[in-house]
Amino acid sequence: MSKILVFGHQNPDTDAIGAAIAFAYLQDALREETVEAVALGNPSEETQYALDHFGLKAPRVIKNAKDDTENVMLVDHNEFQQSVSDITDVNILAVVDHHRIANFETANPLYYRAEPVGCTSTIVLKLYKEADVTIPKAIAGIMLSAIISDTLLFKSPTCTPEDVAAAKELAILAETDYEAYGLEMLKAGTNLSDKSANFLLDLDAKSFPMGDKNIRIGQVNTVDLDEVFNRQAELEAAMKEENNKKGYDLFVLIVTNILDSDSELLVVGDAKEKIETAFNTKLENNRALLKGVVSRKKQVVPQLTEAFA
């Protein structure tokens, strides 16, 4: 019997892993084929905290899909440069996502569910209801964790009333105080002092073609911006090395203070003036403070895409 792999994007965050686990469980209940959640990277400390809290095992990490299967399902992404290395060699059966649709095509028809909500797991909850499949406590917990993560406990501008309602519903199923648990989970992901510069840059980074440029945008959450920017020279050197090695024209690191809901950018590469245009700011020492900016998806990528158009 054939196997279907379900996975989120490279450098997976809590939603990429949580949505994969939840959607794979649902599909396994609905299909004759074996469905397995896998990951395109190891879980972050935040994600591992959530997995441990709800007694779930981290999905195994794969480097390519073709060795395991011909059929895959994508969650929390669709752009091929963010997916598994051999995505063009496998058959995509389904996509469940909440991002823009770009750099994506298939040879065969597929199931595609995309909604403008704050988290993929909010959509997955709807799919469980539509299929009338009961959500186990642990699965509800990791979906709750994903919503908390993606919406920064409902503070992100990407958060919708649907996300809030979904989180509250899942919290009941998971028997969890979402506010107390959510704050502890988010804090678990801000322990950065012992992490290398390369680890921080790759922790939650995605590549975006914009105009004729290849832009790398990473994001780290913290409760202390100075803890990160005290290492600015080290980070800039690592960003420059990444640009040279992987052909990025511009590397943008978003450092987000989850307590104040502000971010500061660190920028290395060409076309820095596009950053100033996109955010109506001036870079000083390669940095710019963006008040009220916490979402890469809604407050950074669209603005840069327009600036590079």
Tokens of 283: 């870079």
User: Does 150 carry a binding-site annotation?
Assistant: yes
User: Does 226 carry a binding-site annotation?
Assistant: no
Separation of alpha carbons 249 and 269, rounded Å = 6
Write out the E strands in 27-146: 34-37, 71-75, 91-97, 111-114
How much is the CA Rg of the chain, to the nearest whole Å?
Answer: 19
How would DSSP label each residue in 152-206?
Answer: TTTTSTT--HHHHHHHHHHHHHHT--HHHHHHHHHHHTT--TTS-HHHHHHHTEE
- Measure CA of the first residue to CA of the last residue in the chain; give whole Å: 47
232, burial (CB in 10 Å: exposed 0-12, middle 13-18, buried 19+): middle
Contact 110, 71 (CB under 8 A): no
User: Does 9 carry a binding-site annotation?
Assistant: yes
User: Does 77 carry a binding-site annotation?
Assistant: no
User: Does 53 carry a binding-site annotation?
Assistant: no
User: Does 98 carry a binding-site annotation?
Assistant: yes
SS3 218: strand
Binding-site members for Mn(2+) are 9, 13, 15, 76, 98, 150
Binding-site members are 9, 13, 15, 76, 98, 150
